[in-house]
Amino acid sequence: MACRVFLFALLVASPVALAQERAPEDASAAREARQHFTAGMEHFEAHRYREAIQEFELAAELVPSADLWFNIARSHEELGQQEPAIENYRKYLRDRVDPPDRERVEARIVSLESQLEAHRRAMNERPTTGTLRVTANVTGVEVRLDDRVVGTTPISAPITLEPGRHTLTLERWGYVPFRSEVRVEAGQVTAAYADMVPATRYRAIRGRRIFTWVAAGLAVGAGAAAIGLWAKARGLAADEEFAEARDWGRYSDFAWGGAALMLVTAAILYFVEGRAVGTERLDSAPTETALRFRPTAF
């Protein structure tokens, strides 16, 4: 708090300090620098530290001042930016003639350096990878991550991965292939459990072609009769009994017509009676599965 009170006092005195430390070559530049300084003061008091830094730096470009380095350092410190705060505190000590608060500013620099070092250590020690543990209730399931085979279940050791989203695929003959995204966090173990469920298959039940074969049999019988009648007509014609031969020839033609009709009927019945009339459930057999996927994080 004492440092902040000192800062406010310093900010109030800074326009005078600017004039005392360095006489501006251009009076308009001095006025512009003072305007930026005043705007920076207003931003700082309103906790708009980024805007305050911008105004203080604009003022420093016009009229460099140790007090401005202090104000810039203080604004960076409020933002938690240790490196630029340390840099500007050092510039303040360099340019300020016999600063009355040297010990206090040096103590702030030491404190900020400690904070910066602690932050760097934490960043270096932070884990950069995560792990994924995949289990399933069925052995022999092929496990792939991002289209890369990593093994088959059971997989005893966790899989080390880069943080982020990864595509997990589990496949085995007799089970439905499963594909999903799993998110891996750095320093955490994500568990994925696949509950493999055997697939259920169905078979179409087709009707029995009873009338198809009856019609086909009648077609064959009619064809055989037509051949017999034709042979009879030929024999009568050979004996010059032409009237009877013509009668038997007509009978043969009728038989051929009946055979053709029965053959067409059999063909139609073949497709009509062959349609599926229902389905029946088969026992589970090797096709493919459905999985239930439950990712959890520890």
- Helix (H) or strand (E) holding 144, with range, is strand 142-145
pLDDT, residue 4, reads 35
Nearest Cα to 160, choosing from 183, 185, 131, 188?
A: 131
**pTM of the predicted model as reported, rounded to 2 decimal places:** 0.43
CA distance 112 to 87: 11
Q: What is the CATH number of domain 2-125?
A: 1.25.40.10
Give Cβ neighbours of residue 113 (< 8 Å, ≥ 6 apart): 82, 86
CA distance 96 to 254: 130
Question: What is the CATH architecture assignment of 130-200+291-297?
Answer: Sandwich (2.60)
Note whether 273 and 209 are within 8 A (CB): yes
Sequence ranges of the domains in the chain: 2-125, 130-200+291-297, 208-274
Q: Which two tokens stand for residue 248?
A: 């038997």
Q: What is the mean pLDDT of each run of 10 residues along the chain (298 residues)?
A: 36 41 67 94 95 95 93 94 94 92 93 90 80 87 90 86 90 83 86 77 68 82 82 75 77 82 81 64 46 43
